[in-house]
């Protein structure tokens, strides 16, 4: 039995099944807290703890999903192409908004972390919290941070952003579709973009653009701001 549940086919199937179950629960309850990503993560963690399957084995078995995640991000380019007419002429404002968002995100999280007594390694690990995981981990480790901590924080940031992001934008009176998409993609990366796509095609396209820009700008800003923050 242990060999069966630790097989690559079973682990891959189980992972997909947990996400589909999470989607079903979310659609059934309409509760934002039951985000499918969050639900599936919790189920996988419980499963691994109860069965004793090593994470390295699980990671190897689900490598296909990691690959498909990269493909899905690239596929956002088609959505962006479809909405190019809506975006053309506003590239300067989009780029400046993402730059400001990146700087504010990095500075604010470091200041809060240091105020709460976190050491430098932890503070560095939090800097790329709003960037998609592969870029965030690389940036964190290159700067001397903890990749594992960064990955956890990135997931939490994305889930939190997808849950409360639209409500915050509504409460603050942000109604422009491009601004809403920028906010979701810049603050909550891919998970936020999935939520932005639900809001509308323009929001989803701009959010996808923000993921790439945020990753590039944060990669440049982290070393530039290091001398100021540490």
CA separation for the pair 156, 126 (Å, rounded): 11
Q: Report the number of distinct structural domains present in the chain.
A: 2
Average pLDDT for residues 176-203, to the nearest whole number?
A: 87
177 and 97 fall within a common domain: yes
pLDDT in tens, 39-83: 898 999 999 898 888 888 888 888 888 777 767 767 777 777 777
Q: Is the CB of residue 61 less than 8 Å from the CB of residue 150?
A: no
User: Which helix or strand (DSSP H or E) is residue 230 part of?
Assistant: none
Condensed to tens digits (0 to 9), the pLDDT of residues 105-151 reads 999 999 999 899 888 889 999 999 988 888 888 889 888 888 889 98
Domain carrying residue 43: 1-61
Q: Indicate whether 66 belongs to any domain.
A: no
Q: Is the pLDDT of residue 229 over 80?
A: no
For residues 19 and 120, membership in a common domain is answered with no
Query: Pick from 34, 61, 88: which residue ends a domain?
Result: 61
Identify the band that residue 18 occupies on the pLDDT scale cut at 50, 70 and 90: very high
Q: Kindly state whether residues 106 and 53 are assigned to the same domain.
A: no
Return the pLDDT at 56.
Answer: 84
Mean of pLDDT over the chain: 85
Residue 224, classified by CB atoms within 10 Å of its CB into exposed (0-12), middle (13-18) or buried (19+), is: exposed
In this structure, the answer to whether residues 178 and 92 fall within a common structural domain is: yes
Residues 76 and 146 in one domain: yes
3-state secondary structure of 145: coil
Handedness of CA 103, 195, 47, 52 (dihedral sign): negative
Indicate whether 97 and 133 sit together in one domain: yes
């Amino acid at each position: 039995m242990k060999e069966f549940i630790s097989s690559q086919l079973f682990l891959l199937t189980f992972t997909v099944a947990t996400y589909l179950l999470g989607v079903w629960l979310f659609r059934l309850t309409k509760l934002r807290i039951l985000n499918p990503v969050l639900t599936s993560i919790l189920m996988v963690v419980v499963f691994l703890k109860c069965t004793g399957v090593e994470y390295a084995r699980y990671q190897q078995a689900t490598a296909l999903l990691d690959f498909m995640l990269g493909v899905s991000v690239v596929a956002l380019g088609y959505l962006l192409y479809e909405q190019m007419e809506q975006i053309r002429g506003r590239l300067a404002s989009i780029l400046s908004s993402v730059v400001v968002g990146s700087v504010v995100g990095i500075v604010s999280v470091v200041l809060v972390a240091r105020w709460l007594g976190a050491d430098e390694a932890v503070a560095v690990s939090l800097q790329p919290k709003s960037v998609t995981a592969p870029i965030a981990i690389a940036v964190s480790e290159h700067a001397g941070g903890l990749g594992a901590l960064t990955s956890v924080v990135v997931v939490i940031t994305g889930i939190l952003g997808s849950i409360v992001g639209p409500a915050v934008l509504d409460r603050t009176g942000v109604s422009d579709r491009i601004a809403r998409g920028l906010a979701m993609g810049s603050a909550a990366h891919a998970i936020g973009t999935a939520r932005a796509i639900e809001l509308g095609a323009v929001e989803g396209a701009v959010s996808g653009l923000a993921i790439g820009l945020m990753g590039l700008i944060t990669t440049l800003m982290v070393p530039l701001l290091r001398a100021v923050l540490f």
